[in-house]
Chains A and B, each alone.
Chain A
């Protein structure tokens, strides 16, 4: 399976990463290698096999609907580069 540079660029953009032309070249080769390696699994016949949604066999893990104390706002904002009146401040996003 071949991975084009455009595809690498697209995936990189989704992860907000930027690469040089050389890097794009390298990664398209490496990603193709990885996918080809994993593609080996496609040789297995999985017709009657339930998909694995989780590696653990357990299901139904819950908590009851109870409120516990949240963290102090100061601590929540502790890593924020900028804050104001209890808000995180970020560059303007227009929706």
Chain B
């Protein structure tokens, strides 16, 4: 029997506001424990929450970017449960009237486009952080994160494979970052993802029993956890056993999901409207105001890059996955109308450095000016591509390419007479290889080019060297 997976994701995105959602404490990450806490966020009796307007602005932004309907009236609700990271004994969230409903995110997997529907987008407060002691039976509570604003984005169960789930998550992250409302850092927990997953015989329109997966802190974890869970559930069904509805945690070190024991009783959150907060009314003017601040979004930018710069879809996809990188590309393409050359270099040299350091382009010292100058030197034949690649790490660190070329004397040798003399010398020094070439092993020419490049420390113009060598060898 063929099976298919049915996956829905619940994503929590920490918002990039300066202050918390209901009080003026800072949201800064990494501060000393319990140093960003006040009576409001630690739930002292007699305090009252006051909503941070920017949270609503940010939520409307995401709703508009995903074509979701913003509800004209939105209400906060209390979600009641006891846990040491939740000082009030309830989380302020939204239940009956969330900020927005509907909408979709478009993904593409193996060339197939698909819209993943959204159920809702709502605002809520984050809980504190718990650190468990390894040796003593205690946990440590830090309430700095308590009250940091979150958006919860709930998808429809529209995804059918781990690849689709990862594509959805990546696209959502990219949109959040384009909107500059969330930094999308999964390792630091500013973007968190839970999954609901079930399997069913392919073609069936009934849902199987779903399992909730937690503790997936990277795209790779999401992929692995879902893959494992699909296999586990199919094996159970083929064995004639039943899938139990439960919450399972992804065990990173073993690559498996494990039942979360002890929390088996059904959730009973007893939601009710929070009497401490008045309803929010969002009229067309407010929506219009926010709409005016929307940037060009990843999909639109990608289409434009394909049309305007003639980039292959693959290049456009990668370059527009980050708004900063796309802006960097565009700044370069305006100064040097060689978009494919720029994109080739971004996708290899630049991304290699960025990935190595885990940085965004604007967090580095690489400026469009220096980058364009380097590519111009290359494009005009002043330096060889070997030299260009060799000095790129310095340019990346902020050095001026023209200056490096000047100081180190790296200008490409294009003087044919000088190069011919050198080629002659190298052919004479390697009679065996010359013989091989003449016997038909034409690819030996690569060896000679390499030798010339070595002699000239990469400065020789490889095109001219190739031409000269071919002429000399064919004589």
Interfacial residues, chain A to chain B (CB-CB below 8 A): 10, 14, 16, 53-56, 58-68, 70-71, 73, 76-77, 82, 84-95
Contacts and interface: CB of A to CB of B under 8 A. Distances in A.
Given A14-B268, A60-B281, A73 B33 contact: yes
B220 interface: no
Contact of B34 (A56, A60, A73, A95): A73
A95 B132 CA distance: 10
A73 to B, nearest CB: 5
A72 B55 CA distance: 26
Contact of B32 (A60, A62, A73): A73
A84 B140 contact: yes
Contact of A65 (B52, B84, B280): B52
Given A54-B275, A58-B278, A61-B278, A90 B141 contact: yes
A14 to B, nearest CB: 6
B19 A66 contact: yes
Contact of A76 (B132, B143, B273): B143
Contact of A59 (B18, B53, B279): B279
A71 B44 CA distance: 12
A54 B38 contact: no
A70 B26 contact: yes
Given A88-B34, A91-B139, A94-B262, A66 B279 contact: no
A77 B142 CA distance: 10
Contact of A73 (B26, B37, B97, B138): B37
Contacts of B191: none
Interface string B232-262: 0000000000000000000000000000101
A16 B141 CA distance: 20
A34 B47 CA distance: 30
A63 B50 contact: yes
B107 to A, nearest CB: 31
Interface in B91-148: 97, 130-133, 136-143
A53 B97 contact: yes
B80 interface: yes
A66 B52 CA distance: 9
Interface of B: 17-19, 24-26, 32-39, 42, 50-56, 73, 75, 80, 82-84, 97, 130-133, 136-143, 260, 262-263, 268, 270, 273, 275, 277-281
A64 to B, nearest CB: 6
Given A53-B97, A61-B50, A67 B26 contact: yes
A16 B82 contact: yes
A30 to B, nearest CB: 19
A24 B407 CA distance: 89
Contacts of B268: 10, 14
12 contacts: A14-B80, A60-B278, A63-B51, A65-B55, A73-B32, A76-B38, A85-B33, A86-B142, A88-B34, A90-B138, A92-B133, A92-B136
B140 A88 contact: yes
Given A65-B53, A71-B38, A73-B37, A91 B137 contact: yes
A93 B129 CA distance: 12
A64 B399 CA distance: 42
Contacts of A58: 278
Contact of B33 (A63, A64, A87): A87
Contacts of A92: 132-133, 136-139
Nearest to A56: B278
Given A60-B281, A70-B25, A65 B141 contact: no
Nearest to A80: B141
Nearest to A84: B140
Contact of A63 (B36, B53, B263, B280): B53
B17 A87 contact: no
A23 to B, nearest CB: 21
Contacts of B262: 94
Contacts of A93: 83-84, 130, 132, 139
Contacts of A85: 33, 140
B131 A70 contact: no
Contacts of A68: 19, 24-25
A53 B139 CA distance: 38
B196 to A, nearest CB: 18
B275 to A, nearest CB: 7
Contacts of A16: 82
Contact of A62 (B52, B131, B279): B52
Contacts of A86: 32-35, 142
Nearest to B39: A71
Contacts of A71: 37-39
Contacts of B97: 53
Contact of B53 (A62, A70, A77): A62
Nearest to A55: B275
A54 to B, nearest CB: 5
